[in-house]
Structure 1
Amino acid sequence: MSQILSIARPDSVRSVRLDTGRGTFAAFTAAPPAPRGTALLVPGFNGSKEDFLPLLPGLAEAGYRVVAIDQRGQYETGPASENPSYAPEGLAADVVALAGVLGGPVHLVGHSYGGLVSRLAVLNSPSAHTTWASLTLLNFGPAAVSEPTRERLELLLDALRTTPVLELWPFLRPQDGGVSEEVLAFLSDRWARNAPEALRLAAERMITEPDRSEALRDSGIPLSVVFGTPEDTWPEREAAAMARELGARYTEIMGGGHSPNVYEPEAVIEALTSFWNA
């Protein structure tokens, strides 16, 4: 799951709600006076727009309008619309709709499960080249998660069948004493707001997701892979091999772990902007 050290929102970052034909989505945005491009940032499993707070000011200072969202079923977005669909294909359609509102082509960044959704968004876009300027997969591998992560997700799936989401928090609460009470309160609230169906479908897909690298390579969209290490959700060797198969730029961020956007934000900003500028 995504990790957070602070929820302080810089003055340059605004909280907004984005209306699309598929519903309304909570987001953070930051932008320079005359942006050279737009980027859409998609969080992972049990994540939210707050995961990207360490990146937003720096990306805006580098010349980009950046928008980080809560996906459907997450935190302040909630169901987004009537009769919500939390299947990954539906979430991918949400991302395509958001790109349409932002005005393409858009640089797309997906973290972890957000990478799975973002890959589907590119593959399922009716007009990929006019919708997407590029795709960056941030700590996402080519297919299903590693065996240790699969076992943890299967335990969670078993628990979700019988236990309300809120009652599972004590088992998921970070044990790191360095996490402030403010952040812990936020994480507890964010977890409680997850739609159970969204969690279930995400966990199931992360366990079974096939390798779609060939189709993604054939999309012709510029690609990059940014991978924080050490990491056990997907092995680093799998991410590096995926990047080679995709013909993608590969950046390893040592010390970034599963959330280099939190632990090594300057390195992630450099990896993203150097790719976008090129």
Structure 2
Amino acid sequence: MSRPPTFTPPPCAHATTLSTDRGAFAVIDARPEGTPKATVLLLPGYTGSKEDFIALHEPLAAAGYRSVAVDGRGQYASSGPGSDGEPYRQGDEATYRQSELAADVLAQQAALGGERVHLLGHSLGGQIARAAVLTDAAPFRSLTLMSSGPAQISPSQQQRVKLLLDALSVMGMAQVWEAIQALDAPEETDTDDELRARWLRHSPAQLAATGRQLMTEPDRVAELAATGLPLHVVSGERDDTWPVPLLDAMAGRLAAARTVIAGAEHSPNTDRPGPTAAALTAFWDGLPGQGQAQ
């Protein structure tokens, strides 16, 4: 589980609601002074939320980019079937099919004014972002896959997700949280209460549906390469969800830019936000036509 350093947006950002033709989504919207070079749409990973990108907003704004981090359907502050303490029903999982979540991303882009945006997805968010691009690449200037691999997650992580899904089928979200804390024994941080509050607001149906996606995702690298969209693969130097050599190979197959963030693991956005933001903005700044209306 990602651990953002704070849940409070920086001065350049504010929490708000993005209204789309597929419903309302909770976002953190950060803007630079003056006219932005472009807008970046940020999708969080499994069990994560828009707060996972909080430490990126200031450096992205300083570089001239508007950044919009979103809670997907059923994640934290964005409602969906099974949210807000409703009982878990397997039928709710249909709402969280990958095709539905990809359609949400396209609706979010349209609601940002219709301009082409840079799309970034972390972990699960990367696979949802990929599905959105494969549905329609035209709304996007580029795609960055952050700690998000070519297909299903590693066998060890599949076992962890399966344990979680088994627990969700017989326990409430509060009971599962306590079990996770006992298993992982994380060190205490100032955000622990906020992490628990975030967990309790996730839809268990969303966690079940997207967990199954992570365990069964097919390899769609060739399809993505064929879109011709500028691509960037970013990761830490260690990752047990998709091994780093696998991410290296994927970047080669995609002919993508490749960045490894020293000192980071599965969440470079929270582990090393400064170098991560610098790598992102260098990639976007280097694209043809950057800074021109598109």
User: TM-score under structure 1 normalisation?
Assistant: 0.94
SS at the partner of 1:85? helix
CA shift, 1:167, in A, is 1.1
Q: How does 1:258-273 map to 2 (within 5 A)?
A: 258-273=266-281
SS at the partner of 1:110? strand
CA shift, 1:176, in A, is 3.0
Task: Give the conservation status (yes or no) of the 8 Å contact 1:52–1:261.
Answer: yes
Structure 1 residues 7 and 155: alpha-carbon distance in aligned structure 2, compared to 1, 3 A threshold = same
SS at the partner of 1:28? strand
Deviation track 1:52-106 (CA, whole Å, cap 9, x = no partner) reads 00001110110011100101001111119xx881112111110010111112210
Aligned to 2:73: 72
CA shift, 1:14, in A, is 0.9
Q: Percent of aligned positions with the same letter in both sequences? A: 42
Letter in 2 for 1:226: V
Letter in 2 for 1:93: A
2:101 to 73, 91, 109: 91
SS at the partner of 1:8? coil
Q: Distance in 1 between matches of 2:229 and 2:78?
A: 28
Letter in 1 for 2:9: R
Aligned to 1:141: 149
Structure 2 unaligned regions, length at least 5: 82-91, 287-294
Q: Distance in 1 between matches of 2:31 and 2:145?
A: 22
Aligned to 1:23: 23
1:241 aligns with 2:249: yes
CA shift, 1:178, in A, is 4.7
Q: How does 1:132-211 map to 2 (within 5 A)?
A: 132-173=140-181, 175-180=185-190, 183-211=191-219
Letter in 2 for 1:186: E
Task: Give the conservation status (yes or no) of the 8 Å contact 1:104–1:133.
Answer: no
Q: Distance in 1 between matches of 2:210 and 2:263?
A: 26
CA shift, 1:271, in A, is 1.1
Structure 1 unaligned regions, length at least 5: none
Deviation track 1:185-243 (CA, whole Å, cap 9, x = no partner) reads 11111111111110001110100001100000001110000011211011001111000
Aligned to 2:37: 36
Q: Distance in 1 between matches of 2:102 and 2:141?
A: 16
CA root-mean-square deviation: 1.7
SS at the partner of 1:100? helix
Letter in 1 for 2:119: L
Aligned to 1:5: 5
1:215 aligns with 2:240: no
Task: Give the conservation status (yes or no) of the 8 Å contact 1:110–1:138.
Answer: yes
Q: How does 1:43-122 map to 2 (within 5 A)?
A: 43-79=44-80, 85-102=95-112, 103-122=114-133
CA shift, 1:172, in A, is 2.0
CA shift, 1:157, in A, is 1.2
1:224 aligns with 2:235: no
Q: Distance in 2 between matches of 1:8 and 1:263?
A: 17
